[in-house]
Structure 1
Amino acid sequence: MTDSIRIDKWLWAARFFKTRTLATNAVELGRVLQNEQRVKPAHSIKSGDVLEIHHADQIWVIEVLRISDVRGAASVAQTMYQETAASAEHRAKSAQDKKYFKEPSAALSGRPTKRDRRLLDFSRS
C-alpha cells in the first residue's frame, strides 16, 4: 500500500464521485480544495490532509485517514475519511432546511413560461 495517491483517484475510491472522470472534472473546476488550496487532479494526497468537497448542493470537510486506489464496498470507503463535526452539523442543518423549505424556482428548468411565472407570483402572494 502506498502512502500517497492522486486526489482524483482517491475521491473515486472513497465514493464521493461515481466515476474518475467526474472526480477529475470537479478538481479541475475548483470544487475540491486540499488544505484550503486549489489543486490539479494529479496532485498527491496523504493521510492527514483536509479536503473540502463541494458536490451536489453539499459541502463536505473531511480528513483523509487511509489511502487506497481500489474502489471497494461503501462500508470500506467510509473508513477512508472522517468528516469534521462542523461539516456534519452544517450538512444536517442544510438537509433540515431543504425538508421544510422548497425553493419555488427549483422545479423550473430554463426560462419560465408565462404559466410558470403566474405560479411563481401566486406562490409569493
Structure 2
Amino acid sequence: MRGTRKDEDDHDESSVPVRLDKWLWAARFYRTRSIAKEAIESGHVRYDGERAKVGRAVRVGAVVNLRQGFDEREVIVKGLSDQRHGAPEAQQLYEETADSLRRKEDARLMRKSGPMFDVVRPERDQRRAGTRFKRGE
C-alpha cells in the first residue's frame, strides 16, 4: 500500500519543489508567509542576483539576498523545507556568506557607536518662525 507524504519518515525533502516564500518562512527569516510574500513583492529579496517572484522554486546551492530592517543578508541554500521547525533546524537550511557576516557586523558596530545624525529640537523662537513662514506671514 502506498503511503501518504506524512507517513513517509524517510522522505527526501530535497526532491520536492519549495516555493520561495515558504522557504523564507521555514528558514525563519520572516515571521509569517504573508510578510515573506510582501518582502519578495517589494523587491527586498533577490534570488541568484535577480528579482524573485513568490512562487519561485528554490533549489539547493542558490544564493538568496534579502533585506531585514537595516541589514542585508546573503545566504546560500543548503536544504529545503516547507515546514517551520525550531531555530536549530531552520539554521541547517542555509549558510550565510562570510562577506554578509562581515557587513552585518560592521553595520552593528556603526549603530552601536552612536546616532548617525543628531536630532536637535528647535528652540521656541525657531518653532514660531517656522510656523510664521508656513503661514506666509
Work out whether 1:52 is the aligned partner of 2:65. Answer: yes
Work out whether 1:65 is the aligned partner of 2:65. Answer: no
Percent identity between the two aligned chains: 31
Map of 1:121 onto structure 2: none
Counterparts of residues 25-44 of structure 1 (less than 5 Å): 25-44=38-57
- For residues 71-118 of structure 1, the C-alpha deviation after alignment (integer angstroms, 9 at most, x for no partner) is 00001101110000000001001001100021346xx8xxxxxx7345
Q: TM-score, normalised by structure 1?
A: 0.82
CA contact (8 A) 2:14 2:79 kept: no
Counterparts of residues 76-95 of structure 1 (less than 5 Å): 76-95=89-108
* Corresponding residue SS for 1:116: coil
CA distance in 1, matches of 2:59, 2:46: 14
Structure number with greater Rg is: 2
| Stretches of structure 2 lacking an aligned partner (at least 5 in a row) | 1-12, 124-137
Deviating 4+ runs (over 3 angstroms): none
- How many aligned positions are there? 110
CA distance in 2, matches of 1:117, 1:35: 47
RMSD: 1.6
* Corresponding residue SS for 2:72: strand
